Amino acid sequence: MYHPDRIRHPENCPALVLNPDYTPLSYYPLSLWPWQTAIKAVFLERVDIVASYERQVHSPSFRMSIPSVIALKQYVKPSEYPAFTRFNLFLRDKFACQYCGSLKDLTFDHVVPRRSGGRTTWENVATACSPCNLRKGGRTPREAGMTLHCPPIRPTSWQLQDHGRAFPPNYLHKSWHDWLYWDVELLA
């Protein structure tokens, strides 16, 4: 019987990685391992297979379905604070300019300009669209007559994961849906 997973190239078969409590290690970036790493972890008995693709890999004497969801046997504690990256900054600010709300042409802005001693930290950088960033220039928001929607803060990993649920990746394999709780209403 034809099934899309059977013709899927193994390179397109990542495994969703869960902690032993069946929560994803992270939502952003989504905790995915390449198929080779997942299979190696299975053989090293570091993970349990929760779900598999229809696609199989084989040797002359062994055949195995590629894992699509795996659960670690040892719990990995998530870090309390995420790394300061452009993507995480945009995620904190929900991919919107903090001056006008635009969702296009995003960049980042130093609230207190660097030339005035402003540092590149969570508390001094906000998402801005290019037009607002150009309008503000090397001034503070007050000097430019602009207002930030939200003051920049250092988010926790939990806050970013909460924001990330509103922005699911473009592709989610059907076997992952039970483990990723993207803004879905739970049935009673």
Query: pLDDT per residue over 100-139, tens digit each?
Result: 999 999 999 999 999 999 999 999 999 999 999 999 999 9
Average pLDDT, the chain: 88
Are residues 130 and 105 in contact, defined by beta-carbon separation less than 8 angstroms?
yes
Residues 70 and 87 placed together within one structural domain of the fold: no
Residue 182 falls inside a structural domain: no
Give me the pLDDT at residue 165, please: 74
Residue 186 falls inside a structural domain: no
CB-neighbour burial class of residue 102 (10 A; exposed 0-12, middle 13-18, buried 19+): middle
Residues 160 and 95 placed together within one structural domain of the fold: yes
Residues 64 and 45 placed together within one structural domain of the fold: yes
Residue 35 falls inside a structural domain: yes
Residues 58 and 89 placed together within one structural domain of the fold: no
Residue 150 falls inside a structural domain: yes
**pTM for this predicted structure:** 0.69
Q: What is the pLDDT of residues 66-79, one digit of tens each?
A: 999 999 999 998 88
Q: End of a domain among 29, 59, 78?
A: 78
Q: End of a domain among 37, 61, 78?
A: 78
Residue 176 falls inside a structural domain: no
When divided into structural domains, the chain yields a total of 2
Tally of CB atoms within 10 A around 180? 19
What CATH number does residue 110 fall under? 1.10.30
Residue 179 falls inside a structural domain: no
Residues 52 and 126 placed together within one structural domain of the fold: no
Residue 172 falls inside a structural domain: no
Residues 97 and 158 placed together within one structural domain of the fold: yes
Q: Residue 106's domain spans which residues? A: 81-167
Give me the pLDDT at residue 12, please: 87
User: Mean pLDDT over residues 5-32, rounded?
Assistant: 84
Q: What is the DSSP letter of 79?
A: P
